Structure 1
Amino acid sequence: MTDGSVIIHPVPYFAQWASHRLVREIVTGMLQAADDPLWAEYGAETPEEYEWWSWRLCGVACLRMALKYWLNIAPTPLEVATECVEAGAYVKRVDGLDGLIYAPFAEYATSRWGICAESRPQMAAGEIPALLASGNLLMLSVHPSIREPHVVPLRKGGHLVLAVGATANHLIIHNPSGFHGVSQEFARVTWSEFDRFYADRGVVLGKPEGPS
């Protein structure tokens, strides 16, 4: 939907944890992710496997939102994560995980799901409104503390959110690690606040092309 300088794409929301209402408790350490009552819906075999992956799959959450919006499908996070590892978009290490790696991820999203994905290692904030107005969704690298925009982060980047709209004064995002009722879906961040968190890079997701 567009209305003058207002752009809002009605994208469904997914958190990077199975229980979106419990994100604040998990992020703040009040609840271990392994104790999420919906952990099995993630596609994990154990609560421990779920906990390990859930902290790392903000990019997968963004892709799942786009898939639900455009294709009305929502593969489990672990299904997508496994395919991303096979595609080289994540690289598992003994002590962690490297990624999301944009170029192989964009290739995966395009070849696997038909999304017109483009890796953008440089993407100025000034480009964002026009890209959204053209019908795209944007995975943007920000500091995770953007869930509380008054915070001044020590650095930029490290977390992915999905830009779903914009106004003259705000960017509108779906934040996979946002707090329920506060900063999860259609969360508005002023452009000046956004600049404190944004690392000037991300992935452009374009609507899949229909059958010829």
Structure 2
Amino acid sequence: MRTSAPALPALVHPVPYFSQWATPELAESIVTHQLPATDDPLWQAYGAASPQEYDWWSWRLCGMACLRMCLAHWELPVPTAMELAAGCVEAGAYVRRADGGLDGLIYAPFARHVEATWPRLTAESRPGLPASAIRELLSRGRLLMLSVHPSVRELAPTAPPARGGHLVLAVGYDAQALLVHNPSGFHGRSQEFARIPWSDLERFYAGRGVVLGRR
């Protein structure tokens, strides 16, 4: 008689949280366009040269917020978001387009850049990362940057127009839900240890990401 494998016990990695905006409490006002990011009083902490530079980059650096969380968790120095972004541009993980847009985060060059810059860390580009593998990777001490639709912050009941487009950091799980730090989550509701029920994950998750660990 076949028996199913025992369920993994609940696990939560105590990862510090960083928003992709300098003031986490303002994320909802910025995302909903009630407040321009240029009015964030802490914009200089981002490492930007001007409020306008901060505004342009802050909408695009969910990946750098995830990387900052990983560095803090593994007790490594945490550069500003702009310093990290500059390194990723140089490594080809972000590519500025002629039309003024930005391509990235591009996983393979990003993973190579992480391992070259922080030898104590491992980083693996996973263009195919099934949801069924997430718990096992977390149980091995890994942190996962996962591609989800931004509307995951509110767990919209209907399927979003696409999966992916935004990066969150998976930091734990229990039997009912995946726990993530969401760089564009709303303060007090969907930033730290935000719960995404396993039954809802498929609607938002693109099935790809980057797996980070410590050597």
Q: Place the TM-score, normalised by the shorter chain, in its bin.
A: over 0.9
- Cα displacement (A) at 1:10: 0.1
| Structure 2 residue aligned with 1:196 | 203
- Cα displacement (A) at 1:200: 0.2
Map 1:24-103 → 2, pairs under 5 A: 24-94=28-98, 95-103=100-108
Letter in 2 for 1:197: F
- Cα displacement (A) at 1:194: 1.2
Does structure 2 conserve the Cα–Cα contact (< 8 Å) formed by 1:171 and 1:190? yes
User: How many matched pairs?
Assistant: 206
Matches of 1:151 and 1:83, distance apart in 2: 38
Share of identical aligned residues, percent?
Answer: 61
Matches of 2:104 and 2:151, distance apart in 1: 19
Which range is displaced more, 10-19 or 147-156? 147-156
Please identify runs of 4+ aligned residues in structure 1 that moved more than 6 A: none
Matches of 2:132 and 2:82, distance apart in 1: 34
Aligned-CA RMSD value: 1.1
Superposed CA offset, 1:111-138 (max 9, x none): 1012100000000000000000000000
Matches of 1:93 and 1:151, distance apart in 2: 34
Q: Secondary structure at the match of 1:116?
A: strand
Letter in 1 for 2:132: G
Matches of 2:97 and 2:55, distance apart in 1: 16
Matches of 2:47 and 2:156, distance apart in 1: 35
Does structure 2 conserve the Cα–Cα contact (< 8 Å) formed by 1:145 and 1:151? no
- Cα displacement (A) at 1:160: 0.2
Matches of 1:87 and 1:155, distance apart in 2: 28
Normalising by structure 1, what TM-score? 0.95
Matches of 2:202 and 2:11, distance apart in 1: 19
| Structure 1 residue aligned with 2:181 | 174
Matches of 2:78 and 2:201, distance apart in 1: 28
Unaligned ranges ≥5, structure 2: 1-7
| Structure 2 residue aligned with 1:124 | 130
Normalising by structure 2, what TM-score? 0.94
Matches of 1:144 and 1:32, distance apart in 2: 19
The structure 2 residue matched to 1:159, chosen from 132, 144, 166, is 166
Q: Secondary structure at the match of 1:71?
A: coil
- Cα displacement (A) at 1:74: 1.4
Unaligned ranges ≥5, structure 1: none
1:108 aligns with 2:113: yes
| Structure 1 residue aligned with 2:4 | none
Letter in 2 for 1:46: S
Q: Secondary structure at the match of 1:37?
A: coil
Matches of 1:118 and 1:43, distance apart in 2: 27
| Structure 1 residue aligned with 2:5 | none
Matches of 2:124 and 2:76, distance apart in 1: 21
